[in-house]
Amino acid sequence: MTTINKEEIQKFSNLAEEWWDVNGKFKPLHMFNPIRIEYIIDKIKQHFKIINKKGSLLKDLNILDIGCGGGLISEPLSRLGGNVTGIDASNKNIKVATLHSKKNNLKIRYLNKSPEQLNEFEKFDIILSLEIVEHVNDLNLYIKSCNKLLKQNGIMFTATLNRTLISYFKAIIGAEYILRWLPIGTHDWNKFIKPEELEHILLKNNFNTIDLKGLEFNPLTNKWKKSKNLSVNYIFCSTKI
């Protein structure tokens, strides 16, 4: 059994050289990154009761970034002192991420693997599953594999897109066809997941929800913000039961 969807992996492999081009195909993720990192750091500090440690904020915390792509989340967390492992089913993504981290003198371990292929005896304090669950082949196996890799007192972040009429118009028609933020065909609306569906799978695999937030784009400020609106993008923060 595998969580790897070869067609989905090929889509992102074809774009691998553009991960660090802030005005390229991944421009939306570069714009999205600040609010994601802000939310993640805030919840990590609350969960692990971290008092401001500045540059070494995440020191001694082992972090797994699943579907790391070119390392857009892995690198900032490494700079904050985290021991980061980034995995991706696309070997081209891993090569790009490895090269970029070396150029920036960051010690990040990148592996061309999916979560079920990792040694389950290796445990992580934090697992990041950001904009990946809508691309996997077997969601239940994916979440089950995450559970095996998370420490008992660990915390997991799962971000994805809601399957609503609004998300179809904003994430598919708007982002891909009108604004051309993403290549046409990047997302399949039928694979989007409603929050209640994802929460059911998380609970089934022994994850307890700590927090659920919407992430919303404000066209007036050209920035993303946290919101109660779950109709398009949302993120779960959960821990083991």
SS (H, E, C) the chain: CCCCCHHHHHHHHCCHHHCCCCCCCCHHHHHHHHHHHHHHHHHHHHHCCCCCCHHHCCCCCEEEEECCCCCCCHHHHHHCCCEEEEECCCHHHHHHHHHHHHHCCCCCEEECCCHHHCCCCCCEEEEEEECCHHHCCCHHHHHHHHHHHEEEEEEEEEEEECCCHHHHHHHHHHHHHHCCCCCCCCCCHHHCCCHHHHHHHHHHCCEEEEEEEEEEEECCCCEEEEECCCCCEEEEEEEEC
pLDDT along the chain (241 residues), means of 10: 85 85 86 95 94 79 97 97 96 96 97 94 96 94 97 97 92 76 78 97 97 92 93 96 89
Domain 6-240 falls in which CATH fold? Answer: Rossmann fold (3.40.50)
The reported pLDDT for the residue numbered 51 is: 77
Distance set, CA 53 to CA 14, 40, 43, 45 (Å): 39, 16, 15, 10
The torsion angles phi and psi of 64, rounded to 5 degrees, stand at: -110, 120
How far is the C-alpha of 136 from the C-alpha of 163, rounded, in Å?
16
The reported pLDDT for the residue numbered 53 is: 65
The reported pLDDT for the residue numbered 24 is: 85
Query: How many CA atoms lie less than 13 Å away from 60 in the CB half-sphere?
Result: 3
Assigned token pair, 73:
């989340």
How far is the C-alpha of 3 from the C-alpha of 143, rounded, in Å?
10
> Letter for the amino acid at 2?
T
Sequence spans of domains, the chain: 6-240
The reported pLDDT for the residue numbered 169 is: 86
Q: What is the pTM of this model?
A: 0.92
The reported pLDDT for the residue numbered 125 is: 98
The reported pLDDT for the residue numbered 15 is: 80
